[in-house]
Amino acid sequence: MPFINPKSYSNIMSKGRSAWRYMHFRYRHGQERFLKEYNQQRRVEAFFSRLKRRFGPSLRSRIGTMPRKEVWLRILILNILVVAGERIEEEFEMAG
């Protein structure tokens, strides 16, 4: 199912695609819930985009459980870098 924030002028019968109709119906009849899920998906996609920009799209490990471990380590390192960056920003704000 697509998660696209519909424009105000779009209608439910656009091109007759069932996935589009269902998404549009959910938007019109539960806008608050739809937007909550839409924003959650946006955050997840932004996180994976940031992860791929930082470490590249491919893994170096190929055998056994190593690819999974490599992904978890990349996520851990990225989270540590984000927290460290936020602390540095806070220190600069307090000093300046």
Q: What is the model's pTM?
A: 0.65
pLDDT of 50 = 93
Please give the DSSP secondary-structure letter assigned to residue 8. T
User: Which residue, among 46, 45, 55, 60, has the nearest Cα to 75 in the 3D structure?
Assistant: 55
What pLDDT sits at residue 18? 81
pLDDT in tens, 15-69: 667 888 888 888 888 889 988 988 998 999 999 999 999 999 898 888 999 999 9
> Domain map of the chain by residue range?
1-57, 58-96
**Residue 69: what pLDDT?**
95
82: tokens are 């984000």
Distance CA(32)–CA(60), nearest Å, equals: 41
Give the pLDDT of residue 73: 95
